[in-house]
């Protein structure tokens, strides 16, 4: 099964590019940009990656982002992630970035987006990995800040497929951002939002109703509302589930308690993703392996998780069919 997982073509739909900042790269960039960080070695950084909840993670996540200053830094960060995609056979990725984390530090919006975009273009040309960019609003900030970020994004609309909503879910419900999401949709952006990770099932319902989301990021607490589960099944609304992240942030105590396979068997369009892999101990293959080791999942179900991600992606039907062929071809060859 491990050989199968390694070779299975994968699609990632829930990845924060700032969350792929490995300790080694954090140190290299801190040195290059002469930024002081409160650690003496990459090992010390890793030792600090013990989180009690989402907020304790976010505190160190924003601290780490301070080393990202120049376009080249954002390029290097994204390129390092794409090399991991190549290693894990991720054939398409839709990455989040948090412009407010950087613009609040005086980094220009275009510095961030151009660095990421150039790396993704190189990834398409040299690694054959297709990609999309989703801009997230930080929900612990106010809606005015989100509107300003949307305004800054408009000149770069050709590079950004959609907008999302991340950061602390507690105390920041979807309704807080309804107007800015409506404005984003008026400009042609697709929408997604984190909901039902730390927050209740009601946040999932409201993200769909008020923010018009095409897919829900996390969403594992949907099980608290059977009617919501039925609606998600009926509408094929995708959930971008992040197994290792959910354990690291104590959404579930152990992987054996995770509900991803149960949701899959109920007919939900669930997908596997790595969220903030540098902080949560694993990229795509690691997440698939963690699920397979802890839960009774079949080869066919692992394949379905990949097919679900293709179905849920923001690419054309023709591109989806090409990716489906890659998955089917691998599975046929593996089992022959």
Which residues does the annotation mark as catalytic?
197
| 249 three-class SS | coil
Report how far residue 283's alpha carbon sits from residue 93's, in angstroms, rounded to the nearest whole number.
12
Report how far residue 242's alpha carbon sits from residue 220's, in angstroms, rounded to the nearest whole number.
9
Would the CA dihedral through 302, 307, 313, 319 be positive or negative? positive
H helices present in the chain, as ranges: 2-7, 23-32, 42-48, 54-65, 71-88, 99-103, 109-122, 143-153, 178-186, 201-211, 226-235, 243-248, 260-266, 277-280, 284-294, 299-312, 317-335
Contact 330, 7 (CB under 8 A): yes
Residue with tokens 């997604």: 192
Residue with tokens 């839709």: 94
């Amino acid at each position: 099964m491990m050989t199968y997982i390694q070779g299975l073509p994968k699609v990632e739909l829930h990845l924060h590019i700032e969350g792929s900042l490995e300790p080694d790269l954090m140190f290299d960039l801190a040195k290059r940009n002469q930024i002081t960080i409160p650690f003496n070695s990459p090992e010390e950084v890793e030792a600090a990656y013990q989180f009690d909840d989402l907020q304790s993670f976010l505190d160190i996540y924003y601290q780490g982002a301070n080393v990202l200053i120049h376009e080249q830094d954002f390029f290097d960060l994204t390129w390092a992630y794409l090399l991991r995609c190549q290693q894990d056979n991720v054939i398409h990725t839709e990455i989040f970035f948090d412009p407010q984390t950087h613009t609040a530090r005086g980094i220009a919006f275009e510095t961030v987006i151009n660095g990421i975009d150039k790396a993704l273009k190189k990834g398409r040309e040299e690694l054959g990995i297709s990609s999309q960019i989703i801009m997230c609003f930080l929900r612990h900030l106010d809606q005015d800040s989100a509107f300003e970020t949307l305004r800054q994004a408009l000149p770069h609309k050709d590079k950004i497929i959609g907008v999302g909503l991340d950061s602390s879910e507690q105390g920041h419900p979807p309704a807080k951002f309804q107007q800015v999401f409506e404005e984003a949709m008026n400009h042609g952006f697709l929408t997604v939002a984190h909901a039902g990770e730390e927050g209740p099932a009601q946040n999932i319902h409201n993200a769909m109703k008020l923010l018009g989301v095409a897919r829900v990021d996390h969403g594992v607490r949907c099980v608290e509302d059977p009617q919501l589960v039925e609606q998600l099944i009926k509408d094929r609304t995708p959930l971008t589930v992040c197994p290792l992240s959910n354990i690291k942030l104590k959404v579930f105590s152990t992987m054996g308690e995770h509900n991803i396979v149960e949701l899959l068997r109920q007919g939900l369009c669930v997908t596997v993703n790595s969220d903030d892999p540098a902080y949560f101990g694993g990229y795509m293959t690691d997440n698939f392996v963690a699920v397979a080791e802890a839960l009774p999942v079949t080869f066919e179900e692992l394949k379905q998780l990949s097919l679900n991600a293709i179905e849920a992606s923001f690419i054309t039907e023709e591109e989806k069919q090409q990716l489906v062929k890659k998955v089917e071809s691998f599975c046929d060859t593996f089992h022959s």
